[in-house]
Amino acid sequence: MGTISHSRADGVELMLNTTDMFVIRSGKLVLENINLRINQGEFVGIVGPNGGGKSTLLLTILGILEPSKGSVDVFGHNPKLVNFNGNVGWVSQDAASIPTKMRMTVRELITLGTLSSSNLFSFRRKKNNEVVENAMRLVGLSDLAGMDIGRLSGGQRQRAVIGRALASNAELLIFDEPLVNVDREARNGILKLLDDLCHNQNKTLLMVSHDLTAIRQSAHRVIYLDGKIQFDGSPSEIPDLSGLAGLVGIQHVHAHGKREDEQ
């Protein structure tokens, strides 16, 4: 499948659109009346308490879950029905939890991102090699291409799995807690990388994180999700942590993202 596009009347490409979307999991209403539009080149951060539906939203966007009501469209198509074949890159929360004894080099891991039903033939291999080299360069791991991934630091492993997503030539990159279990230096390096992907590579980024400070520093838009979208706007407009309790439906939210009844 080639690149999927869905342009608005003003010429701006609409990457993601949910309309009056409700999602039920295990008989419980998790997401209610979600209306979300993300355009090409945006960096959108999602924050909210545990149990607020952040992971459910990502899984629905990926087509793993299905709305019980309303709709979700990615590149203008229902993700449940269409194989996006590399147009969407997904970096899960545990993607960098790679066994230290696993024998695979950085290059080999990133090359996995090029695999699809359309590029397993020899005439694609040269092009794939170029894609892998470019992905390693973008994530700053070219000098470590031959190193076993088990020897990488936490931040380097996270960069490697981001490189794997980039090797698929994805236009929309979705991250679930990419800053977990990395030190401050690695965190700052990953944020710089994401900023570069958005502003210099024209990638569209959707990132879930409990790190509100990081979201404020990097994202164009911040969404506060707690079953419903309680806030959707500029990072400069979102209340500080003490003020989040004033948002409708938000109570006893702490810096680590949990409600008091979840501790």
What mean pLDDT comes out for the span 114-128? 59
What mean pLDDT comes out for the span 105-122? 75
Q: Work out how many domains the chain is built from and give that number.
A: 1
Tell me, yes or no, whether 110 lies in a domain: yes
Tell me, yes or no, whether 105 lies in a domain: yes
Tell me, yes or no, whether 236 lies in a domain: no
Predicted pLDDT of residue 109 = 92
Tell me, yes or no, whether 262 lies in a domain: no
Tell me, yes or no, whether 205 lies in a domain: no
Residues in Cβ contact with 125 at an 8 Å cutoff, skipping those fewer than 6 apart:
none
**What's the pLDDT tens digit per position in 181-236?**
888 888 899 999 999 999 999 999 999 998 888 898 899 999 999 999 999 999 98
What mean pLDDT comes out for the span 84-98? 76
Domain that holds residue 105: 99-167
Tell me, yes or no, whether 226 lies in a domain: no
| Residue closest to 177 by CA, chosen among 164, 163, 166, 162 | 162
Tell me, yes or no, whether 136 lies in a domain: yes
pLDDT band at residue 129 under the 50/70/90 scheme:
confident
Q: Which amino acid is at 258?
A: K
Tell me, yes or no, whether 190 lies in a domain: no
Q: What is the DSSP letter of 250?
A: -
Return the structure tokens found at 218.
């990097």
pLDDT at 54 over 90: yes
**What's the pLDDT tens digit per position in 138-177?**
999 999 999 999 888 888 989 999 999 999 888 999 999 9
**What's the pLDDT tens digit per position in 231-240?**
999 998 887 6
pTM for this model (two decimals): 0.82
